[in-house]
Amino acid sequence: MSNRTIYDALIAAGLTQEGACGLMGNMMAESTMKSNIAQRGMTSLSDEAYTEAADGGVIDFANDAVGYGLCQWTFSPRKADLLDYSKSMGVSVGNEAMQVQFCLRELQQDFPFVLMTLRSSNSLWDCTRVVCEKYENPAVWNTNARFQYAQQFFNEFAGSNALAAEHAQLVTDTNVGHTAEAAQDVCPVFPPDPSVLVIQMVMAYNGYWDKPDGYKTAEFFAALRTFTDDMEKC
């Protein structure tokens, strides 16, 4: 496959142009779009050797905590599902087309709010952010870097229309958003801002982290937004 083929597959699955590019921007940040990549520093095997060992059952692929593939799947149950899915398809766990379909299946089954956003939103920033924070959930929410990758994909595959100019205005640096929307959204990502800590406490008190993704409704996030508006601005 190519980046264009991945983009076309995501569009065919019902994602908006922004949704497809936002997801791909995250993939680029995670794996440089290399489907057989094993997390450096976590294994001494080459990508090819690691993939062969996983396919052959030589390593404990599911439980070794090595990030793998386009989305750098790391969590044990998700890696186990990825390996099982590849076997059911009769292909290597490093197969790119299979991983794209597995990603879409995960979104549908386990991350419906994320998929809903990717299928409905025309905000490249929102699509990039929701994948980073809710689907990938990396140790560091480097949303700005992921957004810039998403912008590059948008310019390449969807940027021939007038929306490209609009999206270009959303580029942010690590401190201040280029627009009011981006500035408002970037700021809460970086602790230890006091309002962030309070929000996290409120979310924990309301059992947010234990709720299935489908229950994390737009109304819930709207309530959080109202709460933050009453807090000291970051």
Q: What is the distance between the alpha carbons of residues 186 and 144, in angstroms, rounded to a whole number?
A: 8
Q: Tell me, what amino acid is at 122?
A: N
Note the pTM of the prediction, 2 decimals: 0.70
Contacting residues for 187 by C-beta, under 8 A, at least 6 apart: 177, 193, 234
Secondary structure letter of residue 137 according to DSSP: -
Per-residue model confidence (pLDDT) at position 225: 55
What pLDDT score was predicted for residue 141? 83
Query: What pLDDT score was predicted for residue 207?
Result: 56
Q: Long-range contact list for 29-32, CB < 8 A, 24+ apart? A: 29/142, 29/145, 29/146, 29/149, 30/67, 30/70, 30/71, 30/72, 30/136, 30/138, 31/69, 31/70, 31/71, 31/72
Q: What is the pLDDT of residue 173?
A: 38
pLDDT along the chain (234 residues), means of 10: 92 97 98 96 96 98 97 97 98 98 98 97 97 93 95 89 43 36 34 43 52 48 53 45
DSSP letters, 48-108, are HHHHHHHHHT-S-GGGS---BTTTTB-SHHHHHHHHHHHHHHTS-TT-HHHHHHHHHHHHH
Per-residue model confidence (pLDDT) at position 140: 83
| Domain range list for the chain | 3-164, 191-230
DSSP 36-51: T-B-TTS-SS-HHHHH
Instruction: Decide: helix, strand or coil at residue 5.
Output: helix
> How many helices (H) and strands (E) would you count in the chain?
12, 0
Q: Are 168 and 150 in contact (CB under 8 A)?
A: no
Residue 203 is predicted with a pLDDT of 54
In CATH terms, 3-164 corresponds, of 1.10.530.10, 3.30.360.10, 3.20.20.30, 3.40.630.30, to 1.10.530.10
